[in-house]
């Protein structure tokens, strides 16, 4: 027989419910609670994902980024064109170039020796006229100044009498002419000044071509070859003012690796961004 404790009644109908209620072990109860919690999280995640889809559709976003289209295989990053467009990736070509060491040194720009001319007064006399001044451009053979010489005038007059010919020009006037195309960089005479024949009165230079001489360690100079490209910039600056190339490398005079060698550089100055006497940093791109 069952005791009173074994009989349970429905409180509403009074119907007896037979059998002892089954009890659940604590471990199972905990597992059920965890399952219910995971189910709740899944439901919440699904709701959030659905809301994101509604938001994307409402705001005109066609689809989410295709992250699934990117994967790494070995050392290669693979992705689709659609993913690249969404992520803003660009593909650039890579090519192998020979390594060119750069030798840097500071020096002063000067006139090209072969493009510089010092013009002396060709007679003892008085400056009658100055035709060209500093900064003027001149052509080869163009008159720079006139010098009147009484002594020369007497000799020319005597020669004309002996030849019984009338002089074709003013006697005793010497013309100073430019020996090259260039620019007047120095003028040392004025009208009415007395000059001697050996005195330098004009300096003409071709400013399209300048020169730079550097003193480099032998180890650095050995890396350079005639024709190596050169960039010139102001000291402590990367602003390129001009370019040129190596024109000569002095041969080593001793076996001392610490000795200094001169390296000559020809400079293209057609842009007129450099001037003689200016200190610059030269970057020489060695092709050795």
DSSP per residue over 102-126, as a string?
EEEEEEEEEE-GGGEEEEE-SSSEE
Helix (H, G, I), strand (E, B), or coil: what is residue 11? coil
pLDDT, position 1: 43
Mean pLDDT comparison of 152-156, 180-184, 235-239, highest-scoring range: 180-184
User: Is residue 241 predicted with pLDDT exceeding 80?
Assistant: yes
Count of C-beta atoms within a 10 Å radius of residue 47: 10
The percentage of the chain sitting over the pLDDT mark of 90, rounded to a whole number, equals: 42
Helix (H) or strand (E) holding 128: strand 125-130
Q: What is the mean pLDDT of residues 11-40?
A: 57
Confidence class for position 96, pLDDT limits 50, 70, 90:
low
The percentage of the chain sitting over the pLDDT mark of 70, rounded to a whole number, equals: 65
107: β partners: 280
Confidence class for position 150, pLDDT limits 50, 70, 90:
confident
Helix (H, G, I), strand (E, B), or coil: what is residue 87? helix
The string of pLDDT tens digits covering residues 40-89 is 666 765 655 555 554 544 544 445 454 556 667 777 777 777 777 777 77
User: Is residue 12 predicted with pLDDT exceeding 50?
Assistant: no
Domains and CATH numbers, the chain: 102-111+208-285 (2.40.30.170), 116-205 (2.40.50.100)
pLDDT, position 28: 63
User: Is residue 2 predicted with pLDDT exceeding 50?
Assistant: no
- 98: Cβ contacts below 8 Å, ≥ 6 apart: none
Count of C-beta atoms within a 10 Å radius of residue 161: 10
Residue that wins the pLDDT comparison between 100 and 93: 93
Helix (H, G, I), strand (E, B), or coil: what is residue 79? strand
Name the residue with tokens 């993913």. 83
CA distance 285 to 98: 12
pLDDT, position 168: 61
pLDDT, position 259: 84
Q: Which two tokens stand for residue 274?
A: 């450099």
* Mean per-residue pLDDT over the chain, rounded: 78
Confidence class for position 17, pLDDT limits 50, 70, 90:
very low
Outline where 22-149 has alpha helix (H): 26-58, 81-87
CA distance 260 to 254: 10
DSSP code per residue over 179-191: SSSEEEEEE---T
The string of pLDDT tens digits covering residues 210-232 is 999 999 998 889 889 999 999 99
CA 193 to chain centre: 50
CA distance 67 to 64: 9
pLDDT, position 42: 63
């Amino acid at each position: 027989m069952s005791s009173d404790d074994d009989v349970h009644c429905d409180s509403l109908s009074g119907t007896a419910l037979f059998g002892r209620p089954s009890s659940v072990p604590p471990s199972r109860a905990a597992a059920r609670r965890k399952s219910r919690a995971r189910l709740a999280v899944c439901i919440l995640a699904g709701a959030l994902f659905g809301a994101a889809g509604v938001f994307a559709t409402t705001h005109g976003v066609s689809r989410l980024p295709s992250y699934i289209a990117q994967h790494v295989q070995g050392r290669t990053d693979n992705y689709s064109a659609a993913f690249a467009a969404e992520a803003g990736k660009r593909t650039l070509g890579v090519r192998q170039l020979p390594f060119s060491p750069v030798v840097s040194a500071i020096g002063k720009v000067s006139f090209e020796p072969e493009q510089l001319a010092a013009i002396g007064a060709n007679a003892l006399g008085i400056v009658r006229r100055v035709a060209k001044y500093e900064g003027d451009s001149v052509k080869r053979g163009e008159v720079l100044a006139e010098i009147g010489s009484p002594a020369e005038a007497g000799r020319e007059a005597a020669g004309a009498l002996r030849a019984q010919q009338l002089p074709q020009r003013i006697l005793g006037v010497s013309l100073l002419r430019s020996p090259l195309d260039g620019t007047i960089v120095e003028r040392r005479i004025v009208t009415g000044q007395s000059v001697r024949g050996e005195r330098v009165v004009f300096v003409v230079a071709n400013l399209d071509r300048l020169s730079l001489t550097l003193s480099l360690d032998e180890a650095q100079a050995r890396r350079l070859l005639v024709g190596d490209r050169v960039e010139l910039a102001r000291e402590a600056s990367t602003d390129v003012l001009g370019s040129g190339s190596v024109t000569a490398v002095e041969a080593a005079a001793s076996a001392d690796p610490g000795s200094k060698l001169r390296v000559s550089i020809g400079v293209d100055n057609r842009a007129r961004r450099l001037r003689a006497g200016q200190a610059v940093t030269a970057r020489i791109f060695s092709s050795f």
